[in-house]
Amino acid sequence: MPPINTPTDLGAIIRDHRRRQNLDQVTLARNVGVSRQWIVEIEKGKPRAGIGLVLRTLQALGVTLTVADETATPRTPGRPAVDLDAIVDAARRPRS
């Protein structure tokens, strides 16, 4: 389960899943509701493609996106487990 860090990663995943399901770009484009050329550019890793269309493409391929468990992989080891300031501010701002 490779992490998705760049638009190129996304393109690779989409192309991979499309090929696995034996779909050509035309039919995938029809299912997603997008032009064939757009599929081409997405699979190339277009950085400025709209997230809405991207998410719909993934769903058309049956691919579900999730957030990796943060506690399992401490990105910043120096970060304190509890943030006192955050707690204080939360208490300072009662809901509504």
Q: Which residues would be at the binding site for its own copies (CB under 8 A)?
A: 1-7, 10, 13, 19-22, 46-55, 59, 62-70, 73, 75-76, 83, 85-86, 89
Q: Which stretch binds DNA (CB under 7 A): 43-51, 55-63, 64-72, 77-85?
A: 43-51
**Binding test (CB under 7 A) with DNA, winner from 2, 48, 80, 85:** 48
Question: What single-letter amino acid sits at 57?
Answer: T
List the one residue out of 25, 27, 55, 51 whose CA is nearest residue 38.
Answer: 25
Distance between CA atoms of residues 65 and 44, nearest Å: 19
* Dist. CA 41–CA 35, nearest whole Å: 10
The minimum distance between CB 35 and its own copies, in angstroms, equals: 15
